[in-house]
Structure formats: C-alpha cells, structure tokens
Amino acid sequence: MAHNLKVYQAFDHEVIAEISTDDANALECKLNIAARAFADRDGWLPAHSRMAILRRVSELLSENRDRFAVMIAREGGKPLTDAINEVTRGIDGLINAADKLRHFGGSEIPMGLTAASMNRWAFTTKEPIGVVAAISAFNHPLNLIIHQIAPAVAVGCPVIIKPATTTPISCIEIVKLFWEAGLDKRWCQTFITEDSALAERLATDHRIAFMSFIGSAKVGWYLKSKLPPGTRCALEHGGAAPVIIDRSANIDAIVGTIVKGGYYHAGQVCVSVQRLYVHNDILSNFTDALAATVANLRVGDPTLKETEVGPLILPREADRVSSWIREATDAGAKQFGGGRLSETTLMPSVLLEPPVDAKVSRLEVFGPLTCVYGYGDVDEAIRIANSLPYAFQASVFTSDIAIALKAAQHLDAAAVLVNDHTAFRTDWMPFAGRRQSGYGVGGIPWTMEDMANNKMVVFNGVS
C-alpha cells in the first residue's frame, strides 16, 4: 500500500518534504508501460531526437542550477559549494551523453577472408538492450541519477529509476526536466519506495534487460544473484581507498589535496581517501600537517557557502562511525580532532596507527575520517594496500618516477592516480570497482556501451 515518504534535511533532521510512494500495483503498471514502449520498434526515438532532448535537459538544468544545488545540500547534506559542482557536472554529463551518439555505432566485419565468405558484406549496428532498472544512492543525489538515466535515454532504453529514500527530491526533479524537454514519460519513470522487497522485484523482473545498481556491496551482489537469465547488470559499490605517500613527496604541496579527497562530502564517497600509508621518514611531519589542516576545516550547515564539511546522511551513520573510531582508540590508535557537532554531524578525525583488525582498517568508513599508518618498504605498503577484498581507486604521492611506476603496476585497483587523491574522477572516464567493489564499468560513455546490443547484418551478394 502506498504511503507518504518523509524526506529529512540531513543537517538538522527536520522534515522538508512528504512524497507519495509507489506500491506493487504501481510497479506493475510502470514495468508494463516501459516494456510496451520498448516492444514498439517503430516508436523508438531516432538519435537526433535523443540528442536534442539531452541537450535541452542540460539547458534546463543550467537554468535551475541554484535550485538544484540547494536541494542537494538540504536533502543530502553536501556542502553548497560542492553541491554547485555536482550540478555543473550533471550539466556536462548530459552533453557528454549526447555527444557520444556522434560516434556510437557499429563497424564493418571483414568478409572474403575465406572462400566460404566470398561475395558478402557484414557490419554491426547498435540497438538498445531493453528496459533498464536503475537503483541509486544518496551521496550524489543528482549526478548518480544522471549517470543512470542519461545513458539509457541516449541509447534508447526505457528506464525506471529508484532513488535512495533519503534523497528522492533531486531524482524526481531531474526526471521532470526530461519530461519538460520532450521525453515521453514512458521512457523515463521514477519508482519511489521504502519497501526493499518491491525494489528487489523491480531489479529482478523478467522484463528488465539491464540492472544498474549503486549502493552497498551486500545488496548489490544479492540482487545480481537473483537476476533472471539474460539480464545484464552493473554494480558500483565502495572500498577503503589506499594512498601511498613516499618519502620524496612534498608534504606542504600535497596535504590539501589529500584532505579534499578524504573529507569531501564528509567522506561519503565510494573512493574517498581512507588508508594513508606514509613512509616512516616523513610520518611525524605529515601527520602533524594533516591533523592541522583537518582541524581548520569549516564544519556545519551545508547550505552555507563557507561550510566545507557537512553532516552524515542519518543519525545512525554518525553513531556507527563514532563507534568505529572508539573501537580503534580503545585498541591504541591516536586520535586527532573528532567530536560531534549535531545528531548527524561529526567533527573530522585523523587516526594514527589503528590496529589492522579494527573496522576502520578493514571496512569502508563512509565518514569524515582518514587513517595513517607508517611503513618502511614500499613493497610492504603495496602488499597491505592490496590486502582487503575491495579494489577501486588508489593513489601514490611521490617525486620518484620509479616509485610511481611500481605503484601503478602493483596496486590492485581499477585506477591508480599519481600525485592526486583517490576521489578524483571525470564523468567520461571509466569508473569501476574490482573484486567486491563492483561489477562492470561506469562512466557515461561506458554505460552506454553496456546498455546497447550489437547486431550483425550480413548481405549475401548472390541473389
């Protein structure tokens, strides 16, 4: 049965909206609408129409930049400056999807290479894979939605998008812009529910051809195990991103970058800097510089322009991170900073040498915390960095090309960043987690490839 979903402001946990949810009947209706739209091949939108819609949505989003930024700051808790950047990325992402269509096609398959293949001409074309079910996360409530909707619209797949229940407003509003831009509602529908069983039904329905999931590894791998035969998927989970800091690194030059990568959106980023392996020769100086920089971060209401670190998404997440920090300090880790500003807002922390078996050393923290560990040999640092069952993005800071090359070759990660933090990405680059961190490749152009099928056509010249 449908009911109203209360949406809370992340910082002070006040109700900012009540949104009607969808029930099982609504899900069935939406699945049928999407499936019928896809089945009508004569009704598929031509590429030029899809490009025009994406470009128009980009224009509309640009006109509504400030409104969306405040929306992101309120429901998601992302500081306003970063929320503005998220909207800017979304604007560019829509253009990115439209531009990809200029080069999104098949290729010729050589014939005549054997006697049996003479007098034939073969080539491939791209077709949409089918109905897409997209389940999204709270931490980038606009840009993640765009990463799931824009590729589907670009390729020509009907998409049903389920946002996180903590941050549904940005999703609802961007879908409205798609409709305003001329996209028939059949091709892009929202599904709002707090019922995990209904979300599972959406993801695993036989009418779904592609399931896009952004969220926890536990849920993502479970849903993948339940997909019917033939359904493809992409999973984006998280990690505990390692950073190796060589003794040749310039501490003053890099500490600000590392702090940005570790405390951006209060650490609620799947590739947030978490584990810092620092050469013993510079360990003390680096830790002091890191702790001092973190202590100067401006923490508070994310709707204020001066705020650099805002709240966690829910009070229970602040409770969890606090308990993990307490476990580590009870076991001997030294803490710099810390404390609690509000029910959802933690003051940023640094932990020095937490035990290897502490939760902060083994699991994704997803909070305003980085952990520092000393090392003497880079091979040992790489071994420890690779020791967890997660592998997403990793970094090395060094002025020594040999160390940079060794780290790039030996770190187990889908991306190794040299002299940059692990949270760096652009929306047109491949973005993928290895092992438990994910499945498939994200990034708008790469998702478009995942959402398309190649069809080969062969002409026999003999009539």
Instruction: Please indicate whether residue 31 or residue 427 has the higher confidence score (pLDDT).
Output: 31
pLDDT for the residue numbered 238: 86
Residue 253: the pLDDT is 96
Alpha helices in 205-302 (DSSP H): 217-225, 251-263, 283-295
Q: Which residues are 349's β-sheet partners? A: 337, 369
For residue 187, the model assigns a pLDDT of 98
pLDDT of 2 reads 59
pLDDT, tens digit (0-9, with 9 covering 90-100), for 223-263: 999 999 999 999 988 889 999 999 999 999 999 999 999 99
Question: What would the pLDDT profile of 271-300 be if each residue is shown by its tens digit?
Answer: 999 999 999 999 999 999 999 999 999 999
pLDDT at 431: 84
- The C-alpha atoms of residue 211 and residue 97 are separated, in whole angstroms, by 19
Contact residues for 423 (Cβ-Cβ < 8 A; gap 6+): 241, 260, 261, 264, 269, 271, 272, 273, 393
How many Cβ atoms from other residues are within 10 Å of residue 456's Cβ?
10
Q: Per-domain residue ranges for the chain?
A: 4-237+437-460, 241-427
Which amino acid is it at 96?
Answer: N
In this predicted structure, the answer to whether residue 353 has a pLDDT above a threshold of 70 is: yes
Q: What is the SS3 assignment for 377?
A: coil
CATH 3.30.360.10 fits 241-427, yes or no: no
Q: Please state whether 214 falls in left (phi above 0), alpha (psi between -120 and 50) or beta.
A: beta
Contacts of 202 (CB under 8 A, 6+ apart): 27, 31, 133, 135, 160, 162, 191, 208
The SS3 of residue 47 is helix
Q: Which residues pair with 113 in a beta bridge?
A: none
Residue 124: per-residue pLDDT: 96
* Fold of the domain built from segment(s) 4-237+437-460: Aldehyde Dehydrogenase; Chain A, domain 1 (3.40.605)
CB atoms within 10 A of CB 401: 10
Greatest Cα-to-Cα distance within the chain, rounded to the nearest angstrom:
82
414: Cβ–Cβ under 8 A, 6 or more apart, which residues? 391, 392, 393, 430, 431, 432, 433, 434, 437
pLDDT at 343: 93
- What's this model's pTM, rounded to 2 decimal places? 0.93
Question: Any idea what DSSP says for residue 347?
Answer: P
For residue range 357-380, what is the model confidence (pLDDT) as tens digits? 999 999 999 999 999 999 999 999
Give CA angle at 260 (398, 238), nearest 5°: 90
